[in-house]
Amino acid sequence: MAHKSTPASDSRRVPTIEDVARLAGVSTATVSRSLNATGRVREATRKAVESAVRELGYTPNFGGQALALNRTNTVGAIIPTMENAIFARAIQALQETLAAQKVTLLVATSQYLPEREEEQIRALLARGVDGVVLIGNRRASSAYALLNARGVPFVLLWSAPDSSPFVTIGFDNSAAAIDVTTRILKKGHRRIGMISGLTAHNDRADDRVRGVSKALTDNGLELAPQDLVECRYSLAEGEAAAMQLLQRQPRPTAIICGNDVLAAGALRAARALGLVVPGDLSVVGFDDIELATAVFPPLATVRVPHRRMGVAAGEYLLRWIVDGKRPPSLTLPTEFIERASLGNLCDEAAD
Protein backbone atom coordinates (compact mmCIF):
# COMPACT_ATOMS: atom_id res chain seq x y z
CA MET A 1 0.00 0.00 0.00
CA ALA A 2 2.75 2.35 0.98
CA HIS A 3 4.31 1.34 -2.25
CA LYS A 4 1.21 2.19 -4.20
CA SER A 5 0.82 5.63 -2.73
CA THR A 6 4.12 7.01 -3.92
CA PRO A 7 4.78 5.75 -7.40
CA ALA A 8 4.49 9.26 -8.76
CA SER A 9 7.89 9.96 -7.27
CA ASP A 10 9.29 7.32 -9.58
CA SER A 11 9.71 9.78 -12.39
CA ARG A 12 11.52 7.33 -14.65
CA ARG A 13 8.55 4.97 -14.70
CA VAL A 14 6.44 4.99 -17.82
CA PRO A 15 3.11 6.53 -16.82
CA THR A 16 0.03 4.33 -16.76
CA ILE A 17 -3.61 5.13 -17.10
CA GLU A 18 -3.77 5.17 -13.36
CA ASP A 19 -1.28 8.00 -13.15
CA VAL A 20 -3.37 9.94 -15.59
CA ALA A 21 -6.53 9.24 -13.64
CA ARG A 22 -4.92 10.36 -10.41
CA LEU A 23 -3.59 13.56 -11.89
CA ALA A 24 -6.88 14.38 -13.58
CA GLY A 25 -8.80 13.52 -10.47
CA VAL A 26 -10.99 10.93 -12.17
CA SER A 27 -11.18 7.18 -12.42
CA THR A 28 -9.28 5.05 -14.91
CA ALA A 29 -12.57 4.16 -16.53
CA THR A 30 -13.20 7.79 -17.31
CA VAL A 31 -9.74 8.23 -18.73
CA SER A 32 -10.29 5.25 -20.97
CA ARG A 33 -13.69 6.46 -22.08
CA SER A 34 -12.35 9.91 -22.69
CA LEU A 35 -9.38 8.77 -24.71
CA ASN A 36 -11.28 6.30 -26.80
CA ALA A 37 -14.34 8.45 -27.27
CA THR A 38 -16.48 5.58 -26.14
CA GLY A 39 -19.31 6.71 -23.90
CA ARG A 40 -20.19 10.26 -23.01
CA VAL A 41 -17.74 12.34 -21.02
CA ARG A 42 -18.28 15.88 -19.79
CA GLU A 43 -16.25 18.39 -21.74
CA ALA A 44 -14.51 19.68 -18.63
CA THR A 45 -13.53 16.15 -17.65
CA ARG A 46 -12.23 15.46 -21.13
CA LYS A 47 -10.09 18.56 -20.96
CA ALA A 48 -8.70 17.57 -17.58
CA VAL A 49 -7.81 14.14 -18.85
CA GLU A 50 -6.26 15.55 -21.95
CA SER A 51 -3.99 17.88 -20.04
CA ALA A 52 -2.98 15.15 -17.63
CA VAL A 53 -2.09 12.97 -20.58
CA ARG A 54 -0.02 15.71 -22.09
CA GLU A 55 1.70 16.54 -18.84
CA LEU A 56 2.71 12.96 -18.20
CA GLY A 57 3.44 12.10 -21.79
CA TYR A 58 1.13 9.17 -21.45
CA THR A 59 0.77 6.52 -24.13
CA PRO A 60 -1.48 3.52 -23.62
CA ASN A 61 0.46 0.39 -22.90
CA PHE A 62 0.29 -1.84 -25.90
CA GLY A 63 0.11 -5.13 -24.04
CA GLY A 64 -2.58 -3.97 -21.71
CA GLN A 65 -4.68 -2.68 -24.53
CA ALA A 66 -4.20 -5.78 -26.62
CA LEU A 67 -5.13 -7.97 -23.71
CA ALA A 68 -8.25 -6.07 -22.83
CA LEU A 69 -9.45 -5.59 -26.41
CA ASN A 70 -8.29 -8.91 -27.72
CA ARG A 71 -7.07 -7.02 -30.75
CA THR A 72 -3.62 -5.74 -31.61
CA ASN A 73 -4.41 -3.29 -34.39
CA THR A 74 -1.73 -4.99 -36.35
CA VAL A 75 -1.90 -6.50 -39.79
CA GLY A 76 0.80 -8.76 -41.14
CA ALA A 77 1.94 -9.11 -44.73
CA ILE A 78 4.21 -11.78 -46.10
CA ILE A 79 5.88 -10.99 -49.39
CA PRO A 80 8.36 -13.15 -51.25
CA THR A 81 11.17 -10.62 -51.14
CA MET A 82 12.15 -7.05 -50.46
CA GLU A 83 15.24 -7.24 -52.63
CA ASN A 84 13.60 -5.85 -55.69
CA ALA A 85 10.94 -3.20 -55.93
CA ILE A 86 8.16 -5.47 -57.12
CA PHE A 87 6.15 -5.46 -53.92
CA ALA A 88 7.39 -2.21 -52.48
CA ARG A 89 4.74 0.05 -53.94
CA ALA A 90 1.88 -2.19 -52.91
CA ILE A 91 3.28 -2.56 -49.41
CA GLN A 92 3.74 1.16 -49.15
CA ALA A 93 0.14 1.77 -50.17
CA LEU A 94 -1.08 -0.90 -47.79
CA GLN A 95 0.86 0.62 -44.96
CA GLU A 96 -0.55 4.06 -45.62
CA THR A 97 -4.08 2.77 -45.79
CA LEU A 98 -3.72 0.92 -42.52
CA ALA A 99 -1.92 3.74 -40.78
CA ALA A 100 -4.86 6.03 -41.47
CA GLN A 101 -6.83 3.79 -39.13
CA LYS A 102 -4.07 3.50 -36.57
CA VAL A 103 -3.25 0.00 -37.66
CA THR A 104 0.37 -1.04 -38.00
CA LEU A 105 1.75 -3.21 -40.74
CA LEU A 106 4.17 -6.01 -40.01
CA VAL A 107 6.12 -7.10 -43.09
CA ALA A 108 7.79 -10.47 -43.34
CA THR A 109 9.47 -12.19 -46.28
CA SER A 110 9.30 -15.77 -47.45
CA GLN A 111 12.07 -15.80 -50.06
CA TYR A 112 9.61 -17.61 -52.33
CA LEU A 113 9.82 -20.64 -50.03
CA PRO A 114 6.53 -22.24 -49.00
CA GLU A 115 7.90 -23.56 -45.72
CA ARG A 116 9.28 -20.20 -44.87
CA GLU A 117 5.95 -18.61 -45.64
CA GLU A 118 4.14 -20.99 -43.37
CA GLU A 119 6.66 -20.28 -40.65
CA GLN A 120 5.98 -16.59 -41.06
CA ILE A 121 2.24 -17.10 -40.96
CA ARG A 122 2.72 -18.90 -37.70
CA ALA A 123 4.88 -16.10 -36.37
CA LEU A 124 2.39 -13.43 -37.34
CA LEU A 125 -0.45 -15.36 -35.79
CA ALA A 126 1.54 -15.79 -32.62
CA ARG A 127 1.88 -12.05 -32.50
CA GLY A 128 -1.84 -11.75 -32.63
CA VAL A 129 -2.20 -9.93 -35.91
CA ASP A 130 -5.78 -9.02 -36.70
CA GLY A 131 -5.40 -9.69 -40.40
CA VAL A 132 -2.97 -11.11 -42.91
CA VAL A 133 -1.94 -10.29 -46.47
CA LEU A 134 -0.35 -12.96 -48.63
CA ILE A 135 0.91 -12.92 -52.20
CA GLY A 136 -0.61 -15.39 -54.63
CA ASN A 137 -3.39 -17.90 -54.30
CA ARG A 138 -1.75 -21.28 -54.43
CA ARG A 139 -0.19 -22.82 -51.37
CA ALA A 140 -0.45 -25.87 -49.16
CA SER A 141 -3.80 -26.21 -47.46
CA SER A 142 -1.95 -26.38 -44.16
CA ALA A 143 -1.15 -22.71 -44.55
CA TYR A 144 -4.79 -21.81 -44.97
CA ALA A 145 -5.67 -24.14 -42.11
CA LEU A 146 -3.49 -22.09 -39.78
CA LEU A 147 -5.29 -18.92 -40.71
CA ASN A 148 -8.72 -20.48 -40.51
CA ALA A 149 -8.09 -22.10 -37.16
CA ARG A 150 -7.48 -18.68 -35.67
CA GLY A 151 -10.31 -17.18 -37.64
CA VAL A 152 -8.03 -14.39 -38.80
CA PRO A 153 -9.18 -12.45 -41.89
CA PHE A 154 -6.76 -12.68 -44.79
CA VAL A 155 -6.56 -11.57 -48.39
CA LEU A 156 -4.47 -12.80 -51.29
CA LEU A 157 -2.79 -10.32 -53.58
CA TRP A 158 -1.40 -10.44 -57.10
CA SER A 159 -3.69 -13.17 -58.40
CA ALA A 160 -7.18 -13.55 -59.75
CA PRO A 161 -9.80 -15.55 -57.85
CA ASP A 162 -8.93 -18.75 -59.69
CA SER A 163 -10.77 -21.66 -58.24
CA SER A 164 -9.68 -20.58 -54.80
CA PRO A 165 -12.42 -19.91 -52.30
CA PHE A 166 -10.49 -17.10 -50.69
CA VAL A 167 -10.60 -13.35 -50.94
CA THR A 168 -8.34 -12.32 -53.77
CA ILE A 169 -7.29 -8.82 -54.77
CA GLY A 170 -5.28 -8.81 -57.91
CA PHE A 171 -5.30 -9.32 -61.61
CA ASP A 172 -5.45 -12.06 -64.16
CA ASN A 173 -1.85 -13.05 -64.80
CA SER A 174 -2.79 -15.44 -67.52
CA ALA A 175 -4.90 -12.91 -69.39
CA ALA A 176 -2.14 -10.34 -69.13
CA ALA A 177 0.34 -12.82 -70.55
CA ILE A 178 -2.02 -13.68 -73.37
CA ASP A 179 -2.34 -10.01 -74.16
CA VAL A 180 1.42 -9.50 -74.24
CA THR A 181 1.95 -12.50 -76.42
CA THR A 182 -0.74 -11.50 -78.83
CA ARG A 183 0.82 -8.10 -79.24
CA ILE A 184 4.20 -9.63 -79.91
CA LEU A 185 2.68 -11.91 -82.50
CA LYS A 186 1.04 -8.91 -84.12
CA LYS A 187 4.49 -7.39 -84.48
CA GLY A 188 5.40 -10.32 -86.64
CA HIS A 189 7.40 -12.38 -84.20
CA ARG A 190 7.09 -16.12 -84.59
CA ARG A 191 10.04 -17.55 -82.71
CA ILE A 192 9.27 -16.62 -79.14
CA GLY A 193 11.12 -17.68 -76.03
CA MET A 194 10.16 -17.23 -72.44
CA ILE A 195 12.05 -16.75 -69.21
CA SER A 196 9.92 -17.43 -66.19
CA GLY A 197 10.41 -17.33 -62.47
CA LEU A 198 10.26 -20.72 -60.80
CA THR A 199 6.70 -21.89 -61.31
CA ALA A 200 6.77 -24.65 -58.73
CA HIS A 201 5.22 -22.69 -55.88
CA ASN A 202 4.33 -19.54 -57.69
CA ASP A 203 0.91 -19.27 -59.25
CA ARG A 204 1.65 -15.89 -60.80
CA ALA A 205 4.65 -17.24 -62.65
CA ASP A 206 2.77 -20.35 -63.61
CA ASP A 207 -0.23 -18.42 -64.89
CA ARG A 208 1.98 -16.20 -66.97
CA VAL A 209 3.60 -19.20 -68.59
CA ARG A 210 0.19 -20.71 -69.26
CA GLY A 211 -0.98 -17.49 -70.80
CA VAL A 212 1.95 -17.27 -73.16
CA SER A 213 1.57 -20.90 -74.05
CA LYS A 214 -2.12 -20.57 -74.72
CA ALA A 215 -1.72 -17.50 -76.88
CA LEU A 216 0.90 -19.26 -78.96
CA THR A 217 -1.20 -22.38 -79.32
CA ASP A 218 -4.20 -20.34 -80.30
CA ASN A 219 -2.10 -18.91 -83.10
CA GLY A 220 -0.82 -22.16 -84.42
CA LEU A 221 2.51 -21.96 -82.60
CA GLU A 222 3.67 -23.56 -79.43
CA LEU A 223 5.84 -22.90 -76.43
CA ALA A 224 8.12 -25.90 -76.67
CA PRO A 225 9.93 -27.03 -73.52
CA GLN A 226 13.20 -25.72 -74.86
CA ASP A 227 11.65 -22.32 -75.49
CA LEU A 228 11.02 -21.89 -71.81
CA VAL A 229 13.65 -21.43 -69.13
CA GLU A 230 12.79 -21.14 -65.47
CA CYS A 231 15.08 -19.45 -63.01
CA ARG A 232 15.02 -17.37 -59.91
CA TYR A 233 14.11 -13.71 -60.12
CA SER A 234 17.58 -12.24 -60.28
CA LEU A 235 19.45 -10.28 -62.86
CA ALA A 236 22.22 -12.86 -63.12
CA GLU A 237 19.86 -15.79 -63.51
CA GLY A 238 17.79 -13.93 -66.03
CA GLU A 239 20.92 -13.24 -68.00
CA ALA A 240 21.98 -16.87 -67.90
CA ALA A 241 18.52 -18.00 -68.95
CA ALA A 242 18.55 -15.63 -71.89
CA MET A 243 21.98 -16.88 -72.89
CA GLN A 244 20.55 -20.34 -73.02
CA LEU A 245 17.62 -19.31 -75.18
CA LEU A 246 19.78 -17.25 -77.49
CA GLN A 247 22.15 -20.12 -78.12
CA ARG A 248 19.41 -21.99 -79.97
CA GLN A 249 19.37 -22.10 -83.74
CA PRO A 250 17.43 -20.42 -85.08
CA ARG A 251 17.29 -18.13 -82.13
CA PRO A 252 14.13 -16.45 -80.92
CA THR A 253 13.34 -12.97 -82.15
CA ALA A 254 11.49 -12.14 -78.95
CA ILE A 255 11.79 -13.13 -75.33
CA ILE A 256 8.94 -12.73 -72.91
CA CYS A 257 10.09 -12.43 -69.32
CA GLY A 258 8.27 -13.25 -66.11
CA ASN A 259 9.28 -9.92 -64.64
CA ASP A 260 11.32 -6.82 -65.30
CA VAL A 261 14.37 -8.05 -63.42
CA LEU A 262 14.59 -11.08 -65.67
CA ALA A 263 14.07 -8.85 -68.68
CA ALA A 264 16.93 -6.62 -67.58
CA GLY A 265 19.03 -9.75 -67.37
CA ALA A 266 17.97 -10.70 -70.87
CA LEU A 267 19.03 -7.29 -72.11
CA ARG A 268 22.43 -7.84 -70.60
CA ALA A 269 22.71 -11.21 -72.28
CA ALA A 270 21.78 -9.73 -75.62
CA ARG A 271 24.44 -7.11 -75.25
CA ALA A 272 27.01 -9.71 -74.27
CA LEU A 273 26.20 -11.59 -77.45
CA GLY A 274 26.40 -8.47 -79.52
CA LEU A 275 22.71 -8.52 -80.32
CA VAL A 276 20.90 -5.25 -80.72
CA VAL A 277 17.55 -4.78 -79.00
CA PRO A 278 15.08 -4.45 -80.57
CA GLY A 279 16.82 -4.87 -83.92
CA ASP A 280 17.96 -8.44 -83.41
CA LEU A 281 15.87 -9.30 -80.43
CA SER A 282 12.80 -7.98 -78.67
CA VAL A 283 12.41 -8.28 -74.91
CA VAL A 284 9.35 -7.65 -72.81
CA GLY A 285 9.07 -7.64 -69.04
CA PHE A 286 6.33 -7.72 -66.47
CA ASP A 287 5.49 -5.44 -63.51
CA ASP A 288 6.70 -2.07 -64.70
CA ILE A 289 8.99 -1.21 -61.86
CA GLU A 290 11.40 1.69 -62.12
CA LEU A 291 14.09 -0.62 -63.41
CA ALA A 292 12.13 -0.99 -66.64
CA THR A 293 13.09 2.52 -67.69
CA ALA A 294 16.52 2.51 -66.12
CA VAL A 295 17.85 0.02 -68.62
CA PHE A 296 18.42 0.58 -72.30
CA PRO A 297 16.41 0.23 -74.32
CA PRO A 298 13.53 0.81 -71.91
CA LEU A 299 11.45 -2.26 -71.41
CA ALA A 300 8.04 -2.84 -72.86
CA THR A 301 6.21 -4.41 -69.97
CA VAL A 302 2.92 -5.04 -68.24
CA ARG A 303 1.90 -2.47 -65.70
CA VAL A 304 0.42 -4.05 -62.65
CA PRO A 305 -1.96 -2.20 -60.27
CA HIS A 306 0.58 -2.09 -57.43
CA ARG A 307 -0.90 0.71 -55.41
CA ARG A 308 -4.51 -0.15 -55.99
CA MET A 309 -3.91 -3.65 -54.70
CA GLY A 310 -2.24 -2.33 -51.60
CA VAL A 311 -4.98 0.16 -50.90
CA ALA A 312 -7.75 -2.33 -51.54
CA ALA A 313 -6.09 -4.94 -49.36
CA GLY A 314 -5.96 -2.48 -46.50
CA GLU A 315 -9.53 -1.32 -46.90
CA TYR A 316 -10.97 -4.78 -47.30
CA LEU A 317 -9.10 -6.12 -44.34
CA LEU A 318 -9.99 -3.24 -42.06
CA ARG A 319 -13.65 -3.57 -42.87
CA TRP A 320 -13.55 -7.31 -42.46
CA ILE A 321 -11.81 -7.05 -39.10
CA VAL A 322 -14.35 -4.58 -37.82
CA ASP A 323 -17.62 -5.97 -39.10
CA GLY A 324 -16.63 -9.61 -39.41
CA LYS A 325 -18.06 -9.88 -42.89
CA ARG A 326 -15.90 -11.41 -45.58
CA PRO A 327 -15.56 -9.06 -48.56
CA PRO A 328 -15.76 -10.23 -52.17
CA SER A 329 -12.72 -10.68 -54.38
CA LEU A 330 -11.54 -7.91 -56.63
CA THR A 331 -9.90 -8.21 -60.02
CA LEU A 332 -8.14 -5.17 -61.40
CA PRO A 333 -6.97 -4.42 -64.92
CA THR A 334 -3.40 -4.50 -66.13
CA GLU A 335 -2.00 -2.37 -68.89
CA PHE A 336 0.53 -3.15 -71.57
CA ILE A 337 3.23 -0.50 -71.72
CA GLU A 338 4.83 -0.17 -75.11
CA ARG A 339 8.48 0.76 -75.06
CA ALA A 340 11.52 0.48 -77.26
CA SER A 341 12.58 -3.02 -76.26
CA LEU A 342 9.76 -4.42 -78.34
CA GLY A 343 10.39 -4.08 -82.04
CA ASN A 344 8.29 -4.58 -85.09
CA LEU A 345 9.57 -7.48 -87.12
CA CYS A 346 7.46 -6.61 -90.19
CA ASP A 347 8.75 -3.08 -90.45
CA GLU A 348 12.27 -4.26 -90.12
CA ALA A 349 11.81 -6.78 -92.84
CA ALA A 350 10.51 -3.93 -94.95
CA ASP A 351 13.57 -1.88 -94.22
Partner DNA sequence: TTGAAAGCGCTAACAG
Partner DNA sequence: CTGTTAGCGCTTTCAA
Segment interacting with a copy of itself, rule: CB under 8 A, options 41-49, 88-96, 316-324, 341-349: 88-96
Query: Checking DSSP bridges between strand 254-257 and strand 192-196, what pairing results, if any?
Result: parallel
To a copy of itself, the closest distance from the beta carbon of 67 in angstroms equals 4
Contact of residue 16 among a copy of itself, DNA, none (CB under 5-8 Å per partner type): DNA
Beta partners for 287?
A: 303
Interaction of residue 11 with a copy of itself, rule CB under 8 A: no
Contact of residue 17 among a copy of itself, DNA, none (CB under 5-8 Å per partner type): DNA
To DNA, the closest distance from the beta carbon of 18 in angstroms equals 6
Whether the Cβ atoms of residue 171 and residue 333 lie closer than 8 Å to each other: yes
Q: Which of residues 66-95 bind DNA (CB under 7 A)?
A: 67-70
Contact of residue 223 among a copy of itself, DNA, none (CB under 5-8 Å per partner type): none
Segment interacting with a copy of itself, rule: CB under 8 A, options 81-89, 187-195, 220-228, 341-349: 81-89
Interaction of residue 199 with DNA, rule CB under 7 A: no
Whether the Cβ atoms of residue 285 and residue 238 lie closer than 8 Å to each other: no
Interaction of residue 294 with a copy of itself, rule CB under 8 A: yes
Segment interacting with DNA, rule: CB under 7 A, options 64-72, 74-82, 101-109, 301-309: 64-72
Identify the CA nearest to 75 among candidates 132, 120, 147.
132
Contact of residue 32 among a copy of itself, DNA, none (CB under 5-8 Å per partner type): DNA
Distance of CA 118 to the CA centre of its chain: 16
Q: Which of residues 261-280 bind a copy of itself (CB under 8 A)?
A: 261, 264-265, 267-268, 271
Whichever of 34 and 120 has its CB closer to DNA, that residue is 34
Interaction of residue 39 with DNA, rule CB under 7 A: yes
Q: State the SS3 of the chain.
A: CHHHHCHHHCCCCCCCHHHHHHHHCCCHHHHHHHHHCCCCCCHHHHHHHHHHHHHHCCCCCHHHHHHHHCCCCEEEEEECCCCCHHHHHHHHHHHHHHHCCCCEEEEEECCCCHHHHHHHHHHHHHCCCCEEEEECCCCCHHHHHHHHHHCCCEEEECCCCCCCCCCEEECCHHHHHHHHHHHHHHCCCCCEEEEECCCCCCHHHHHHHHHHHHHHHHCCCCCCHHHEEECCCCHHHHHHHHHHHHCCCCCCCEEEECCHHHHHHHHHHHHHCCCCCCCCCEEECCECCCHHHHCCCCCEEEECCHHHHHHHHHHHHHHHHHHCCCCCCEECCCEEECCCCCCCHHHHHHC
Identify the CA nearest to 276 among candidates 267, 288, 284.
267
To a copy of itself, the closest distance from the beta carbon of 249 in angstroms equals 26
Interaction of residue 56 with DNA, rule CB under 7 A: no
Whichever of 158 and 160 has its CB closer to a copy of itself, that residue is 158
Interaction of residue 28 with DNA, rule CB under 7 A: yes
To DNA, the closest distance from the beta carbon of 23 in angstroms equals 12
Among 17, 242, 255, 291, binds DNA (CB under 7 A): 17
Query: Checking DSSP bridges between strand 335-337 and strand 301-303, what pairing results, if any?
Result: antiparallel
Whether the Cβ atoms of residue 159 and residue 133 lie closer than 8 Å to each other: no
To DNA, the closest distance from the beta carbon of 50 in angstroms equals 12
Contact of residue 27 among a copy of itself, DNA, none (CB under 5-8 Å per partner type): DNA
Among 25, 165, 279, 333, binds DNA (CB under 7 A): 25
Question: Which residues contribute to the site for DNA (CB under 7 A)?
Answer: 14, 16-18, 25-33, 35-36, 38-42, 44-46, 58, 60-61, 63-65, 67-70
Binding site for a copy of itself (CB under 8 A): 12, 14, 57, 59-68, 70, 72, 74, 82-85, 88-89, 91-92, 95, 99, 104, 106-109, 123, 125-128, 149-151, 234-235, 261, 264-265, 267-268, 271, 290-291, 293-296
